[in-house]
A and B are shown apart, each in its own frame.
Chain A
Amino acid sequence: MHSSYTRGVYLMCIVLRMSISHTLLGLLEAGPRHGYDLKRAFDSHFGQDRALHYGQVYSTMSRLLKNGLVEVDAVEPGGGPERKRYAITDAGVTDVAAWLARPEKPEPYLQSLLYTKVVLALLTHRDADALLDVQRAEHLRLMRELTVRKTGGDLADQLICDHALFHLEADLRWLELTAARLDRLASEIRP
């Protein structure tokens, strides 16, 4: 019990770290920004319960630079990391597109990541409806698997599968509600 909880939290940290680099990359797609400007944009869209540290921005940027997903497009006189202006590269745009198009593995703690993806799809003028549809299909695929397992299983299987099914159902409702509210969300985040 304890170790599976720990594993869950550990996984969540990985998910968050991976999503931060994609999120910053997605924000850069809208236009080049300085590090402090990136942090401000991140915090205003996604920072409700997790404001970024400057350190995270700079360590993420240096990793993205190394991987060729961003480049420094201007340096203001004076030097220091806070003087660099970052721009997304073509490889970076491809990376954001692939990330947005790929459904997430349905699991707990997913909601904030899906929310981030929807907002970024809207900010970068991609098809947010399609993103939600792909995720919806992925959730239902897993629900189908669990239903087959439940139908053939004993009571313990049934109870365990039902628990997962009710949680996935809640996720799906959120996906549907979000799909129905996309126009409103779009007008709020890009006035």
Chain B
Amino acid sequence: MNPPHAAPALLTATDVHKTYGSTPALDGAGFTIRAGEIVAVMGPSGSGKSTLLHCLSGIVPPDSGTIHYAGHDLGALSDAERSALRRTDFGFVFQFGQLVPELTCTENVALPLRLTGVPRKEAERRATEWLTRLEVQDVRHHRPGQISGGQGQRVAVARALVNDPRVLFADEPTGALDSLNGERVMQLLVAAAQETGTAVVLVTHESRVAAYSHREVVVRDGRARDMAGAA
């Protein structure tokens, strides 16, 4: 787990503001992550962690401020360009409810590849590889309703990493799991991300999960604070 200090910034948010109705969710937030870096985003409930992740990944446009990703200004891209970028360059893992219930685990993991035009057989072969890597190859023919929460999270991590994203966004990826399963999912996630050089934005309120990161950022009242400066 060596932090890639020398790598240039891959994704940067500058002075981002986002208000929902009269609630200021982000109030001048800044954030930077380098290629291959794992950054934990921590902070109290309602402080703006998920909103920051949504802005960083181009899911939600900020009211003001900029997001730069690998030379692109996300705000200057069209909706179609932003969606395309999300499909090819970003992966997502959430707390729960993210697998398509009608599809088998293999089909779920193959889905991101199918959406970018990879032929079915090739997509399912790569999906099976990822399921094996996350130690859930045994349930590959099951549907999400027929597997445990911990297995479901591993399938979700496989799906998020199958198209070799440059940034993985994970919002409380172990929030619904017990300690042992949460640990295992984190170990597999971190090992896979480090091997592929994927940067990880890891939103969590659990310090034991954050301890898998290289560095943490604390969000308070919509402002992000880099804790490397505090120590």
Contact = CB atoms under 8 A, between A and B. Distances in A.
Interface in B190-212: 190, 206-208, 210-212
Contacts of A143: 207-208, 210-211
Interface string A153-191: 000000000000110110011001000100000000000
Give the dominant DSSP class at A's interface.
Answer: helix
Interface string A115-147: 000000000000000100110111111011011
A172 B216 CA distance: 14
A146 B216 CA distance: 16
A103 interface: yes
B44 interface: yes
Contacts of B230: 130, 133-134, 136-137
Max count, chain B CB within 10 A of own CB: residue among A147, A169, A173, A180: A147
B227 A144 contact: no
A81 to B, nearest CB: 42
B218 interface: yes
Contacts of B218: 133, 136
A135 B76 CA distance: 41
Contact of A146 (B44, B211, B214): B211
Contacts of B207: 139-140, 143, 168-169, 172-173
Given A151-B1, A151-B187, A133 B211 contact: no
Contacts of B190: 151
B180 to A, nearest CB: 10
A15 interface: no
B19 to A, nearest CB: 23
Contacts, number: 52
Contacts of A138: 231
B213 interface: yes
A110 interface: no
Contact of A165 (B1, B208, B228): B208
Contacts of A165: 208, 211
A130 B225 CA distance: 12
A140 B1 contact: no
A151 B187 CA distance: 7
B167 to A, nearest CB: 21
B211 A134 contact: no
Interface string B78-105: 0000000000000000000000000000
Given A133-B218, A137-B227, A137-B231, A147 B211 contact: yes
A13 interface: no
A148 interface: yes
A112 to B, nearest CB: 21
Given A137-B231, A138-B231, A140-B227, A180 B211 contact: no
Contacts of A137: 216, 227-228, 230-231
Instruction: Report, nearest first, the 7 A-B pairs whose CB atoms are least far apart.
Output: A143-B211, A137-B231, A147-B211, A133-B230, A172-B207, A137-B227, A137-B230
24 contacts: A133-B218, A133-B225, A136-B218, A136-B227, A137-B227, A137-B228, A137-B230, A139-B207, A140-B207, A140-B210, A140-B227, A141-B231, A143-B210, A144-B211, A144-B212, A144-B213, A147-B208, A147-B211, A147-B212, A148-B1, A165-B211, A166-B208, A172-B207, A180-B44
